[in-house]
Amino acid sequence: MKVLLVGNGGREHALARALVRTSNAEHPVQLSVQAGNPGLETLGDSFAFTATEPDEVLALAKAHGVELVVVGPEAPLVAGVADALIAAGIPCFGPTSDAARLEASKSFAKDVMAEAGVATARSFTCRNMNEVDTAFQELGAPHVVKDDALAAGKGVVVTHNVEEARAHAKSCLEREDGAVVIEDYLDGPEVSLFCLCDGTSVVPLVPAQDFKRAGDANSGPNTGGMGAYSPLPWLDEGVVEEVVRSVAQPTVNAMAKRNTPFVGLLYCGLAMTSRGIRVVEFNVRFGDPETQVVLERLDSPLVELLHAAATGTLDQVPAPQWSTDAAVTVVMASGGYPGPSDTGHEITGIDKAEAIPGIHVIQAGTSRKTVSPEGALVPAGSGPEAKEILVNSGGRVLNVVGRAATVQAARALAYEGVKQISFAGEHHRSDIATWPAELDLSVGSDLKN
Ligand code: GLY
C-alpha cells in the first residue's frame, strides 16, 4: 500500500519505523515521508511540502497514487488536511478539522465530555479576568489554568500561586478571541492511552506513561515530554477496558451524534485519581514520545489498522498483537529546552548506540549540515574535502529507545544508548521509567517539590 506520512518529528520517525517494521507480504508498505528529518528520510521517499497546506498535501497524494495518508501532528488536522483528502476520496488517518476541535479547543472538549458523561475535572471557561477570579474562588488552589486554544505544549499552568495563575490567564486572554479553562486539580498518576477510532468503533493500544517536567523528580518547567515507557507494571489490568467503556466509546458516540465523526487517534490523557479515572485532556494524534514506546511493542501490521480506521472497517480487522517486551525512551534535548534552544552542534555516537542490541535512536530535532575540514559551514556539494555532519536543530533532538524483557532492562539499555551519544548543551532526565513506587508522578506533582 502506498502511504504518505505527514509530519517530520520524532513521532513521525517512530510511526514510519513501525509502519515499515510491521509490514509483511500481505500488508506491504511503500512509504513517502515529509522531508526535513534525516532519520525519517531513511525509511521512505522524501518530499518537501507544507504540512498545514491541505492543497499541497492533496496534490502530492494524487500525484503519487497514495492509498492512505497518515497525519502525525495536530496542526495539519486543524488546518483541514483530512477534510481535503476525504473530499477527494483518499483515505486519511486523522480527524477532520471539526473533529480535531477535541484538541484545538479545551472548552469544546469539555462540552463533548459533559454530553458523553465522561468524568473529567470540574471546569469553567472564562473570557475575562472577572470570570477567572470567580473560577479561582469557586475551585480553590492548586489552580489549573489551560489556554483554550492550541499552545504547542505551553498552554497549561498548575500552581498554588494565584498571581502566577492570574498572569497566565491574562496572557491567554490578551489574544483575540482568547479564552481560558480553569479547572479542578486532579491527583494521581497520569496515563496516556491511545485509541484507534473509525467514526464508530474504538480499538485501544497499550498504555504508556510520559514524563512531562524538564528535570529529575518532576522539577523544572513543563515540556512536550522527556521520556516514556510501556507497559505500566503498576496499572490495574482492567483500566484499558474501563477507559474504552467510560471514556473513548462515549466520546466517539457523542462526536458521531454531532455529525462530526471522529476518525484517527484519540489520545486519552488520564489521571488515576483517588476518586477514579478522570480525563485530563484529549489530543487527536499520537503522543510524542509515548508513540516511540507503544508502537515498538506492536507485532501486527500497523498499516492494516490505520487503513481500517480511515475506512470505517476497524471491526473487520484482527485486534493488534503486542509483544510482552518493554520499551523505554529517553529524550535527549538541546541546551535551553523548553526555552529557546541552543542548536547547530554536531551530534556524535548514534551509530555506537545502535550497535548495541536492543537500542535504536529516533530522530526528532536534527538536520544535516555540510562543513569544511576546518568545521566551517559550506554549501552542500562543496568538494571532496567537505563532509556532512548531523546537528541538533530543535528542542527535543533524539529519543533513545531501549527494548528488553522488563522495564528495568529496557531502561538500562536506553541509558546505555544515551551514554554513547553527545552534542554540546545536551540534557536529559535520569529518572525516566521509575514509577510511582519510587517517584511521585501525580498530575502537577511538582507542587509538592
Ligand atoms: N507527550 C504529550 C503529548 O504528546 O501531548
Q: What is the DSSP letter of 179?
A: -
Out of 211, 213, 268, 283, mutate this one to test ligand 1's pocket (max ligand atoms within 8 Å of CB): namely 283
Specify whether the CB–CB gap between 124 and 283 falls below 8 A: no
CA 394 vs. chain centroid, Å, equals 16
CATH class of segment(s) 122-183: alpha beta
Q: Is CATH 3.30.2010.10 what the domain over 326-423 is classified as, yes or no? A: no
Distance CA 114, CA 13 (A): 36
Out of 15, 286, 288, mutate this one to test ligand 1's pocket (max ligand atoms within 8 Å of CB): namely 288
What's the half-sphere exposure (Cβ side, CA atoms, 13 Å) at 176? Answer: 0
**Is the CB of residue 296 below 6 angstroms from any atom belonging to ligand 1?**
no
Distance CA 95, CA 100 (A): 6
Count the helix, strand and coil residues of the chain and give each as a percent rounded to the nearest 5: 30, 30, 40
187-311: CATH, from 3.40.50.300, 1.10.150.120, 3.30.470.20, 3.40.190.10: 3.30.470.20
pLDDT in the model for residue 447: 43
pLDDT in the model for residue 437: 45
pLDDT in the model for residue 206: 98
**Is the CB of residue 225 below 6 angstroms from any atom belonging to ligand 1?**
yes
pLDDT in the model for residue 449: 30
What tens digit of pLDDT does each residue of 94-112 get? 999 999 999 999 899 999 9
Within this chain, domains 2-94 and 187-311 share the same CATH topology: no
Domain positions in the chain: 2-94, 122-183, 187-311, 326-423
Cα–Cα distances in angstroms (integers) from residue 131 to residues 135, 170, 270, 280, in the given order: 6, 11, 27, 22
Instruction: From the CA of 289, give the closest atom in ligand 1.
Output: 1
pTM: 0.93
Specify whether the CB–CB gap between 70 and 6 falls below 8 A: yes
What tens digit of pLDDT does each residue of 363-385 get? 999 999 999 888 888 888 778 88
Residues of the chain with pLDDT under 50: 437-439, 441-449
Question: What's the 224 CA to ligand 1 centre distance in angstroms?
Answer: 6
What tens digit of pLDDT does each residue of 343-363 get? 999 999 999 999 999 999 999
2-94: CATH, from 3.40.720.10, 1.10.287.130, 3.30.390.50, 3.40.50.20: 3.40.50.20
Give the residue whose CA is nearest to atom 5 of ligand 1: 287
Neighbours of 6 (CB within 10 A): 28
